[in-house]
A and B are shown apart, each in its own frame.
Chain A
Amino acid sequence: MLQSLAGDAAAYRIFLDELTTHLRSYLRRRLGGLPDEVEDLLQELLLAVHNKRHTYDPKLPLTAWVQAIARYKLVDLLRRRSRGDVLTDPLDEDDQVFAATANDAAEARYDVAKLLRGLPDRQRLPILYVKIEGASVTDTAVRTGMSESAVKVGIHRGLKALAERIRSIG
């Protein structure tokens, strides 16, 4: 995590992969009755960890930080659901068994790529070029005619906006 915060993308990827595994099993345990929600919330959590990574204090244990974010998002989700559509939950218990074994599915019900299309260009293009196509910030700045800092701000704001949208869907 410390390497990631210093800008080491490879280390960050390893960190996020491990985090994904841990969070998925955590959420499966906690969301036993709502298997459909696991992958959705997992992605929401990963975005939250990414968007809030500046709030991590290297002096404190990483697990406590992740744990607090996960718990917050979990409670947030349960509260949203208890307010809204408890009655529309699938009631057949069989779902659970299949969901738990379907490791390869690992797909959320909302489509981040589709949500991305709803963002304004100044956020969408930087995310598309830098984060999906893997172009450098400098190249993206040339391609879009934006300044480099505008590209970085666009990515930052765009990912925050995505998290907002996912939250309002969920």
Chain B
Amino acid sequence: MKTEDLVSLLSTGADAVDLRLTSRRWLLALAGGALIAFLLTAGLLKLNPALWHEASKPMFWVRESYCAVLGVFGFITVVRLARPGSRLGLAPMGIPVAVIAMSVLAVVTLVAASQNRARMILGDTAGVCPFLIALVAAPLLIALLWVMRSLAPTRLRWAGAASGFAAGSIGALVYTLHCPELAAPFLAIWYLLGMLIPTAIGAWFGPRLLRW
């Protein structure tokens, strides 16, 4: 076919494009993924019975904000990576900044503690925490990759990894409804690991799933 024929084929009867569709898809993916993540947490893992009691502790809110901030920066990065030619800006840099802040808090906490340091690091659930976060994050990762596929990422591995990280941190936020751990060293290690599992999975799937 001649190129000019293709141009006329494409332009003939071309209808209007709803530019808000993309943001609606992202919101749907977030809402749907988070809902399933919540159902997994509440149904399979059970909500933490001491949740209301713990909500009065400052560390509870440090943990919630940590996950939420990472989730926001991760999600902004995802949205930008899905559009060809858009600049990433400073949002991706927010992720290492937040991680470093939590690591500093962890070290300070450990240094200040006179005893029970191992317990601050391992808590009661260190062995399962990263895997449970990855499990809760799975529906979010699937939803984000699903939307990403309908868009046009040009850096596929990064797009996959960012989707994984956003899913991991939002998944971790949902997981806090079950998780009894509040010590900064625990969060700095095991939560981060939990977020990095879907990140690695996303990075692996990116070039395979997102090509267009």
Interface residues of chain A, those whose CB is within 8 Å of chain B, are 4-7, 9-10, 12-13, 16-17, 20, 24, 39, 42-43, 46-48, 50-58, 60-61, 64-69, 71-72, 76, 106-108, 110-113, 127, 130-132, 134-137, 152, 155, 159, 163
Contact = CB atoms under 8 A, between A and B. Distances in A.
Contacts of B151: 52, 54-55
A14 to B, nearest CB: 9
B1 A9 contact: no
Nearest to B20: A54
B128 interface: no
A53 to B, nearest CB: 6
A9 B83 contact: no
A28 to B, nearest CB: 13
The interface residues of chain B, by DSSP majority, are classed as loop
Interface string B16-31: 1111011000000000
Contacts of A51: 212
B10 A131 contact: yes
Contact of A130 (B1, B13, B18, B19): B13
B1 A5 contact: no
Contacts of A127: 9
B154 interface: yes
B1 A108 contact: yes
A72 B1 contact: no
A112 B17 CA distance: 24
B22 A54 contact: yes
Contacts of B82: 55
Given A54-B18, A57-B86, A76-B211, A131 B1 contact: no
A106 B86 contact: no
A42 B81 CA distance: 24
Contact of B8 (A13, A24, A68): A13
A106 B12 contact: no
The interface residues of chain A, by DSSP majority, are classed as helix
Contacts of B14: 4, 7, 9, 12, 50
A6 B18 CA distance: 8
Contact of A16 (B11, B21, B84): B11
Nearest to A16: B7
A69 B152 contact: yes
The 6 closest A-B pairs by CB, nearest first: A7-B16, A68-B84, A64-B85, A68-B85, A13-B11, A112-B1
Interface string B161-180: 00000000000000000000
A130 B8 CA distance: 11
14 contacts: A4-B14, A9-B12, A9-B13, A46-B3, A52-B84, A56-B19, A56-B83, A69-B85, A72-B154, A111-B1, A112-B1, A127-B9, A132-B9, A137-B15
B3 A55 contact: no
